[in-house]
């Protein structure tokens, strides 16, 4: 069979079409029976918002390496960090 990329796209189309047809009954089964298909409940996890920015977490060696990379990139006209962080 020499279908090439068109054959793969055709197969993916049918897989997606089957997903679209059967996602409704699966969702109805979840609502009707009260069971959860998703095993992971992430509501109880606390988020620590007091995380410093990346440049403040680097040690001196890594910071100097990052600054050297930024200098090289800026010589080519590419800026990867803000001037206030640089």
Q: What is the pLDDT of residues 6-58, one digit of tens each?
A: 888 999 999 999 888 887 766 666 666 656 556 667 777 887 778 788 778 88
DSSP string, 6-61: HHHHHHHHHHHHHHHHHHHHHHHHHHHH---S-----TTPPP---PPPHHHH--HH
- Provide the whole-model pTM: 0.41
CA atoms in the 13 A half-sphere facing the CB of 26: 9
Examine the pLDDT at 2 and tell me if it is beyond 70. no
Residue 72 in domain: yes
- Does residue 48 lie within any of the structural domains? no
Query: What is the extent of the structural domain holding 71?
Result: 54-86
Q: Give a yes or no: residue 47 inside a domain.
A: no
In a domain, 68, yes or no: yes
Coil, helix or strand for 82?
coil
Residue 26 lies in a domain: yes
Instruction: Determine the pLDDT at residue 48.
Output: 75
Residue 81 confidence class, pLDDT cut points 50, 70, 90? confident
Quote the number of domains for the chain: 2
């Amino acid at each position: 069979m020499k279908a090439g990329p068109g054959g793969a796209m055709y197969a993916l189309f049918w897989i997606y079409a089957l997903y679209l047809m059967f996602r409704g009954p699966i969702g109805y089964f979840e609502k009707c029976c009260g069971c959860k298909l998703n095993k992971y409940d992430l509501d109880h996890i606390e988020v620590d918002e007091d995380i410093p920015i990346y440049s403040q977490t680097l040690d001196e060696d890594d910071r100097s390496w990052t600054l050297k990379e930024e200098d090289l990139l800026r010589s080519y006209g590419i800026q990867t960090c803000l001037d206030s962080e640089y």
